[in-house]
């Protein structure tokens, strides 16, 4: 995604929002009326649902990997009644095809803030219990290999699915799940490593449209049906309900996308703007289909059936939901969206959505890729040194960030804290330096191979390392140890002195001892003599102090470190004069 505000602001704002919601609309199943879309169960399940009495902090991991490995969700089928938009309530049935682990006596689904009324397994009522974070299903007879679980539930979502007005005052509903807030509006195995196909049946008031992942199956009166046959992670599984103006931008990835909407072989690229914002949408997204074509050629086949760019209420500048990217409502309405956010979210369709971080601690394999290849697109299409400029700006952010004291691969439990300069620009810098180290042919070959191998799956830093090593024949263990698994970057202090006929240039690494000594990195120096002559030289960093000896040509006027912006480093003193 792209970040709209500073990380701390996002987190604080979210917490305030949740706290306020908890007070004003505590979950109350009795207040929810039955609808035709939701048959009332004839037998009361045991035990009865206890009121949801606690509000977990969104964005913090609660379950261990062992616990959540107890099941694999294969498919989500969500029937959601949103006809009472003004009341901000939903009625829903979630039907999940699930494969529990062979020895499981229960399965736990993540489910927060809404109340389940009844649960069926393979058509029969089954015992369940609900805590503040978990819906536990515990059948007396255990499980078969795969089961179909139906959960009837409803209430006012406190997070994950947001009700609110569009700029014209019309109600809207948009999901915003990252990183683990899907559980606030549907029972799920809400972790990036468990991907599933999904279908949606959403009932809305007259005049409203529904956008979701995958392809539009059909519209029948007030009911919209969408379906994705590509497995996606729960955090990108979304619906959006609004009075929208849909416009087609163009076809993309022709012959290189899954069977697409309307039986075509291309992925349709479209905009879904709120009423009144359609013209700006079409104008802003002029190159949206070109981006899909560009990245299809660079990475491999586009992973999804279509790509909708949706004006929404996401808290982020953009959120890369699979095949239905959500953008911040205000920036779109006020016509101040940058094009970079469109490229960034488009890259995520391959890296983030299709190749998903296996664990949040490896978020850079999503955000670093999106950041880097945005700059690559802008550079290829617009020139003007867009890549160089992006890397310089990224380096400034990294050098000035406290996050640099932590490694890029970061096991912190606070997931919103990962939206920092490590995951974004430092992740991009890792790719940029790999490209310099192994060359364009090996680098882009590795990116294609990595996508092909992990498409519709998950990957982590080690998978990136292996792909780059296989393409280049180089051992990159040390590179990743320094740049991904350790904090910091080289802080370089340069001095020069005459020694006979030689000029001795000393490069010291003066970063703190808590940061590694960087070895195997190539530093370019541009030396300008007082005669005006300019020379380029290279030094491989091998220790805390390296030196370069060159024949003297008078006095050194300036030494410029890294003139081509190839190394993540900070020059800690002005070059000598
Ligand atoms: Zn992103």
Please give the helix or strand (H or E) that residue 463 lies within, else none: helix 461-472
DSSP string for residues in 130-155: E-SSEEEE--TT---SSEEEEEEEEE
Return the DSSP state at 361.
Answer: G
Reported as a pLDDT band with limits 50, 70 and 90, residue 24 is very low
Question: What pTM did the predictor assign?
Answer: 0.90
Question: Residue ranges of the alpha helices (H) in 228-363?
Answer: 278-284, 288-299, 329-333, 339-350
- Please tell me the distance between residue 345's alpha carbon and the centre of ligand 1 in angstroms: 6
As a whole number of angstroms, the distance between CA 549 and CA 533 comes to 17
Asked whether the predicted pLDDT for residue 49 surpasses 50, the reply is no
- Please tell me the distance between residue 320's alpha carbon and the centre of ligand 1 in angstroms: 7
- Please tell me the distance between residue 2's alpha carbon and the centre of ligand 1 in angstroms: 5
- Please tell me the distance between residue 162's alpha carbon and the centre of ligand 1 in angstroms: 21
pLDDT digits (tens, 9 = 90+) for 322-343: 999 999 999 999 999 999 999 9
Reported as a pLDDT band with limits 50, 70 and 90, residue 32 is very low
Please answer whether residues 188 and 74 qualify as being in contact, where contact means their C-beta atoms are separated by less than 8 angstroms. no
Please tell me the predicted confidence (pLDDT) of residue 315.
95
Asked whether the predicted pLDDT for residue 11 surpasses 50, the reply is no
Return the DSSP state at 486.
Answer: S
Rounded average pLDDT over 372-378: 98
Cis peptide before 177 (omega within 30 of 0): no
327 φ, ψ (degrees, to nearest 5): -120, 155
Asked whether the predicted pLDDT for residue 40 surpasses 70, the reply is no
| Percent of the residues in the chain that have a pLDDT greater than 90, as a whole number | 83
- Please tell me the distance between residue 348's alpha carbon and the centre of ligand 1 in angstroms: 7
Please tell me the predicted confidence (pLDDT) of residue 2.
87
Please tell me the predicted confidence (pLDDT) of residue 62.
65
- Please tell me the distance between residue 576's alpha carbon and the centre of ligand 1 in angstroms: 40
Asked whether the predicted pLDDT for residue 256 surpasses 70, the reply is yes
Reported as a pLDDT band with limits 50, 70 and 90, residue 76 is very high
Which 3 state secondary structure label does DSSP give 370? helix
Cα 209 from chain centroid (whole Å) = 25
Rounded average pLDDT over 484-512: 96
Please tell me the predicted confidence (pLDDT) of residue 577.
43
Please tell me the predicted confidence (pLDDT) of residue 263.
56
Reported as a pLDDT band with limits 50, 70 and 90, residue 53 is very low
Q: In terms of Cα–Cα distance, which of 341, 74, 326 is closest to 199?
A: 74
- Please tell me the distance between residue 566's alpha carbon and the centre of ligand 1 in angstroms: 23
Reported as a pLDDT band with limits 50, 70 and 90, residue 61 is low
- Please tell me the distance between residue 363's alpha carbon and the centre of ligand 1 in angstroms: 10
Residue 480 CB partners (closer than 8 Å, separation 6+):
461, 462, 464, 465
Tally Cβ neighbours within 10 Å of residue 508. Answer: 17
Please tell me the predicted confidence (pLDDT) of residue 525.
97
Asked whether the predicted pLDDT for residue 503 surpasses 60, the reply is yes
Q: What is the mean pLDDT of the chain?
A: 89
Please answer whether residues 214 and 175 qualify as being in contact, where contact means their C-beta atoms are separated by less than 8 angstroms. no
- Please tell me the distance between residue 522's alpha carbon and the centre of ligand 1 in angstroms: 29
Asked whether the predicted pLDDT for residue 22 surpasses 60, the reply is no
Please tell me the predicted confidence (pLDDT) of residue 68.
66
- Please tell me the distance between residue 33's alpha carbon and the centre of ligand 1 in angstroms: 39
DSSP string for residues in 59-124: TB--S-HHHHTTEEEEEEEEEEE---GGGT-EEEEEEEEEEE-TT-S-EEEE--SSEEEEEEETTE
- Please tell me the distance between residue 367's alpha carbon and the centre of ligand 1 in angstroms: 5
Mean pLDDT is highest, among 37-41, 43-47, 244-248, for 244-248
As a whole number of angstroms, the distance between CA 490 and CA 517 comes to 7
Asked whether the predicted pLDDT for residue 500 surpasses 90, the reply is yes
Please tell me the predicted confidence (pLDDT) of residue 7.
35
- Please tell me the distance between residue 504's alpha carbon and the centre of ligand 1 in angstroms: 44
Angle at the Cα of 438 from the Cα atoms of 437 and 443, rounded to 5 degrees: 120
DSSP string for residues in 269-282: EEEEEETT-HHHHH
- Please tell me the distance between residue 322's alpha carbon and the centre of ligand 1 in angstroms: 12
């Amino acid at each position: 995604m792209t970040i709209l505000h500073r990380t701390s602001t996002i987190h604080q704002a979210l917490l305030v929002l949740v706290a306020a919601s908890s007070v004003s609309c505590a979950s109350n199943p009795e207040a929810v009326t039955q609808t035709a879309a939701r048959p009332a169960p004839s037998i009361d399940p045991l035990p009865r649902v206890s009121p949801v009495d606690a509000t977990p902090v969104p964005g913090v991991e609660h379950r261990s990997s062992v616990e959540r490995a107890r099941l694999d969700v294969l498919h989500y089928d969500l029937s959601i009644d949103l006809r009472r938009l003004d009341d901000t309530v939903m009625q829903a049935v979630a039907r999940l095809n699930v494969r529990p682990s062979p020895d499981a006596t229960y399965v736990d689904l993540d489910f927060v803030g809404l109340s389940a009324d009844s649960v069926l397994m393979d058509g029969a009522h089954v015992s369940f219990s609900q805590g503040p974070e978990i819906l536990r299903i515990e059948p007396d007879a255990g499980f078969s290999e795969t089961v179909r679980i139906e959960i009837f539930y409803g209430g006012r979502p406190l997070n994950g699915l947001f009700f609110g007005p569009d700029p014209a005052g019309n109600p809207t509903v948009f999901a915003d799940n990252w990183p683990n807030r899907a559980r606030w509006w549907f029972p799920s195995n809400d972790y990036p490593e468990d991907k599933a196909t999904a279908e949606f049946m959403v009932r809305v008031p007259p005049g409203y449209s529904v956008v979701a992942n995958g392809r539009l199956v059909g519209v029948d009166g007030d009911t919209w049906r969408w379906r994705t046959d590509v497995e996606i992670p729960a955090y990108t599984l979304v619906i959006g309900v609004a009075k929208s103006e849909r416009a087609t931008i163009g076809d993309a990835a022709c012959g290189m996308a899954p069977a697409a909407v309307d039986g075509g072989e291309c992925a349709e690229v479209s905009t879904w703007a709120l009423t009144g914002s359609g013209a700006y949408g079409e104008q802003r997204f002029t190159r949206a289909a070109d981006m899909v074509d560009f990245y299809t050629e660079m990475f491999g086949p586009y992973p999804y059936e279509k790509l909708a760019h949706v004006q929404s209420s996401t808290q982020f500048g953009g959120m890369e939901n699979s095949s239905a990217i959500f953008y911040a409502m205000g920036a779109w309405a006020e016509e101040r969206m940058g094009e970079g956010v469109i490229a960034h979210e488009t890259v995520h369709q391959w890296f983030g959505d299709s190749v998903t971080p296996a664990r949040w601690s490896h978020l850079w394999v999503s955000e670093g890729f999106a950041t880097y290849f945005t700059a690559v697109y802008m550079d290829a299409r617009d020139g003007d040194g867009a890549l160089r400029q992006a890397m310089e700006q990224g380096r400034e952010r990294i050098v000035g960030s406290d996050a640099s004291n932590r490694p890029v691969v970061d096991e912190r439990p606070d997931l919103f804290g990962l939206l920092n300069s490590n995951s974004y620009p430092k992740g991009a810098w890792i790719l940029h330096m790999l490209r310099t180290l192994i060359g364009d042919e090996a680098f882009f070959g590795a990116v294609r191979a990595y996508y092909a191998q992990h498409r519709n799956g998950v990957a982590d830093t080690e998978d990136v390392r292996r792909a780059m090593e296989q393409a280049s024949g180089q051992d990159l263990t040390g590179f990743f140890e320094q740049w991904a698994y350790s904090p910091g970057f080289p802080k370089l202090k340069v001095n020069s002195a005459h020694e006979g006929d030689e000029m001795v240039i000393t490069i010291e690494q003066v970063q703190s001892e808590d940061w590694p000594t960087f070895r195997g990195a190539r530093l370019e120096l541009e030396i300008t003599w007082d005669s005006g002559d300019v020379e380029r030289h290279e030094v491989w960093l091998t220790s805390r102090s390296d030196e370069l000896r060159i024949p003297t040509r008078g006095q050194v006027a300036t030494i410029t470190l890294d003139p081509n912006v190839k190394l993540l480093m900070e020059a800690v003193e002005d070059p000598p004069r």
